Structure 1
Amino acid sequence: MEYAIDFEANNAKFQKEGFPGQQPLRPSKHVAIVSCMDARLDMHKALGVAIGEANLIQNAGGRTTEALRSLVVSQQLLGTKEIHVIHHTGCGMLIFTNTELRNKIKQDLGTSAADAAGAVDFLPFPDVDQSVRDDVKFLKDSPLIMDVPIQGWVYQIEDGKIRKVD
């Protein structure tokens, strides 16, 4: 099997030059960050968060409904006491609707896949600031999330700046 990235060679270099050593299981800053999986993002660098300081939970769009399971584990078992939701400009979740994606799935994978996709909300959004507000509200309203500070942010892909969303 061929890989687009030489993981083994890169890992050997990481082990030799960049491995920070054994870290504690619990994040030292007691922070959980939910952000998008977009390959253009490096939240550790963008926020100045070192390995071992925060739980970084990433998914398509940085959606909290999908991250809820991980956040419960992060709070209940790993001791996080603060949550930050970070969406970003130029996100792929801004460019489609559920219907459009289901149609593409039907075209590419067939009717049975499209039928299965009908039960999935892919969580697209038309407005990045509003998606942050919605996700912060979802967490604040969830009985599974402890009463901790929860803040929302937008990372501006164009210049790397973050801005708080109220």
Structure 2
Amino acid sequence: MAAAAEFIKGNEPYAAQFGDKKSLVISPRKCVAIVTCMDGRLDPAAHLGLKEGDAAVIRNAGGLVSEALRSLIISQRLLGTREVAVFHHTDCGMLHFNTPQLRNIVKDAAPGDADIAARIDAIDFHEFSDVEESIKKDVEWLKEQPLIPEDIAITGWVYEVETGKVRQVV
């Protein structure tokens, strides 16, 4: 709970400068949803020059669109987003493990627990070995989804953690 103890203190300067942000509407001003990784080194607002209220940002391990579909449907159908930008990044944790390894780590933490073993064995962590290929696959997968309107623009990007630069892949 060390981080939790700092939340109130860290929030004070932000709240003091909050100003008219209470008037921000729920729909993103730029009508874009960004799907990206949960990695703490990524800050889409900072590296894309966005302000609060500009975009809907959906984060998960690896920035995988299959894990973000529910949020994307809500974003498009209820919040009016018309564009999806998928961002993966270099040195992603998803490049450094595989599903069997992670399953074994979890099982080793609960030896003999059949319920834990069954639950973790049911999860595919969708690791990948090539960032650009994972972007291409994600964009293609999303374009094939019947729940995503055909007129939604979908692009794929790589954020380079080594330089802070972004580059479009698709």
Question: Which TM bucket (shorter chain)?
Answer: over 0.9
Task: Give secondary structure in 1 for the equivalent of 2:59.
Answer: strand
Return the alpha-carbon distance in structure 1 between the equivalents of residues 39 and 27 of structure 2.
Answer: 25
* Structure 2 Cα separation of the partners of residues 103 and 31 of structure 1: 38
Counterpart residue type for residue 15 of structure 1: A
Q: CA RMSD in A?
A: 1.3
Structure 1 residue 142 displacement after superposition = 0.2
In structure 1, runs of 5+ residues without a counterpart are: none
Deviation at 1:49, TM superposition (A): 1.1
Q: Structure 1 segments of 4 or more deviating over 6 A?
A: none
Q: Quick one: distance in 1 between partners of 2:84 and 2:26?
A: 18
Q: Secondary structure at the match of 1:55?
A: strand
The 5 A counterparts of 1:6-155 are 6-17=6-17, 21-22=21-22, 23-110=24-111, 111=113, 112-147=115-150, 148-155=152-159
TM-score, scaled to structure 2:
0.93
Aligned residues: 165
* 1:19–1:106 CA distance, 2 compared to 1 (3 A): farther
Structure 1 contact 33–56 (Cα < 8 Å) conserved: yes
Q: Does 1:158 align with 2:159?
A: no
Deviation larger for 87-96 or 11-20? 11-20
Alpha-carbon distance in structure 2 between the residues aligned to 1:4 and 1:96: 26
After superposition, what is the alpha-carbon deviation per residue over 1:66-87, rounded to whole angstroms, capped at 9, x for unaligned? 0000000000000000000000
Look up the SS of the partner of 1:58 in the other structure: strand
In structure 2, C-alpha distance between the alignment counterparts of 1:91 and 1:109, rounded to whole Å: 27
Post-superposition CA distance 1:14-73 (Å, at most 9, x none): 101356612101001100000000011111110011110100000000000000000000
Question: Could you list the runs of 5+ residues in structure 2 that have no partner in the other structure?
Answer: none
Moved more, 83-92 or 106-115: 106-115
